[in-house]
C-alpha cells in the first residue's frame, strides 16, 4: 500500500511539474524574444508556442506572433531575423512603422507558413520621389514604374529614364525600359540568396504605394 501511495505521489508530482513547465516555458521564451527585439524598436506583444513546451529550451518554436509599434532595421538586423525565425513553422509579425534605410515604411506585415512568406508594406510616394531628382512613381497596367528626368548624366538623353520595378530570377529588380535598356543594366533592389520572390503586386492610393509580395525561403 505504501509503495502504491508513493508511486501515486511521484506520478502526481511529475504531472504537476510537467504542467508547470508547459505553462512557464512559453512565457520565458516570449520574454527572451521581447528583450532581443527591444534593441530594434518598441515591442507591444509577443506570443511563442511549441509542443511539448520543453522544446523551447532547444530553440524549437512551432509558432510565433510579434507586434511592434516601431522598429529600425538595417541589413544585418534583417539577416539576423531571417536566421532566428527561419525554422519557425508559423510566424505572424506586424510593425506599425518601420525605418529601413532612407525609407519610412508603414503597416508592415509578414506571414510565414513553412517556407512560404507573404509580406505587405506601405510607403510614401513623395518620400521615394524625393530621393532622386525629377523622380516620378506611377503604376500602369499593374506595373510599378519610376521615371527619372533630371539626372546629371554626361550624355544627354532624348527623354526621361523609365524603370520598371519587377521580378527577375526570384529577385526584385529595377529594369530599364525603351531605348535606354541597351545602355543601362538591370539593377537588383532585393538580392537575398535565401529569398526567392515569386509574386509582386503594387498599387498607389492617396499618395501611398502599397506593396505585397510572396516569396519562398530557401535552405542555403
What does the angle CA 10 – CA 14 – CA 16 come to, to the nearest 5 degrees?
115
Alpha helices in 69-193 (DSSP H): 75-85, 125-129
- Interval 108-133: pLDDT, tens: 898 988 889 899 999 999 988 888 77
Q: Give the mean model confidence (pLDDT) for residues 22-37.
A: 58
* Other CB atoms within 10 Å distance of the CB of residue 148: 18
Lowest mean pLDDT among 2-16, 29-43, 201-215: 2-16
With cut-offs at 50, 70 and 90, classify the pLDDT of residue 39. confident
With cut-offs at 50, 70 and 90, classify the pLDDT of residue 14. very low
What does the angle CA 208 – CA 211 – CA 215 come to, to the nearest 5 degrees?
170
Omega before residue 158 within 30° of 0, cis = no
Residue 55 has a pLDDT of 41
Q: What is the largest CA-CA distance in the chain?
A: 99
CB within 8 Å of 75: residues ≥ 6 apart:
none
Residue 29 above 70 pLDDT? no
More confident residue, 1 or 192: 192
Report the distance separating Cα 66 and Cα 20, nearest Å. 24
- Interval 117-173: pLDDT, tens: 899 999 999 988 888 777 888 988 878 998 887 666 656 666 678 889 999 998 999
- Closest listed residue to residue 202, CA positions, set 103, 134, 125: 125
* Other CB atoms within 10 Å distance of the CB of residue 88: 18
Residue 51 has a pLDDT of 43
More confident residue, 87 or 184: 184
Q: What are the residue ranges spanned by the domains of the chain?
A: 1-109, 115-220
Q: What is the dihedral of CA 19, 21, 25, 26, to 10 degrees?
A: -10
CB within 8 Å of 24: residues ≥ 6 apart:
53
Coil, strand, or helix at residue 69? strand
Sheet holding 187-190, edge to edge: 135-140, 143-148, 161-168, 171-176, 187-190
Amino acid at each position: 500500500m505504501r509503495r502504491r501511495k508513493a508511486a501515486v505521489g511521484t506520478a502526481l508530482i511529475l504531472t504537476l511539474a510537467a504542467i508547470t513547465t508547459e505553462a512557464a516555458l512559453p512565457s520565458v521564451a516570449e520574454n527572451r524574444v521581447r528583450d532581443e527585439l527591444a534593441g530594434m524598436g518598441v515591442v507591444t506583444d509577443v506570443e511563442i508556442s511549441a509542443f511539448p513546451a520543453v522544446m523551447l529550451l532547444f530553440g524549437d518554436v512551432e509558432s510565433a506572433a510579434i507586434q511592434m509599434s516601431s522598429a529600425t532595421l538595417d541589413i544585418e538586423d534583417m539577416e539576423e531575423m531571417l536566421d532566428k525565425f527561419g525554422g519557425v513553422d508559423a510566424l505572424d509579425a506586424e510593425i506599425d512603422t518601420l525605418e529601413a534605410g532612407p525609407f519610412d515604411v508603414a503597416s508592415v506585415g509578414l506571414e510565414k507558413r513553412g517556407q512560404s512568406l507573404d509580406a505587405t508594406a506601405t510607403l510614401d510616394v513623395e518620400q521615394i520621389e524625393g530621393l532622386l531628382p525629377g523622380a516620378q512613381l506611377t503604376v500602369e497596367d499593374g506595373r510599378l514604374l519610376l521615371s527619372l528626368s533630371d539626372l546629371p548624366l554626361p550624355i544627354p538623353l532624348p527623354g526621361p529614364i523609365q524603370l520598371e520595378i519587377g521580378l527577375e530570377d526570384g529577385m526584385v529588380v529595377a529594369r530599364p525600359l525603351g531605348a535606354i535598356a541597351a545602355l543601362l543594366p538591370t539593377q537588383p533592389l532585393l538580392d537575398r540568396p535565401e529569398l526567392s520572390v515569386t509574386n509582386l503586386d503594387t498599387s498607389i492610393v492617396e499618395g501611398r504605394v502599397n506593396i505585397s509580395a510572396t516569396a519562398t525561403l530557401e535552405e542555403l
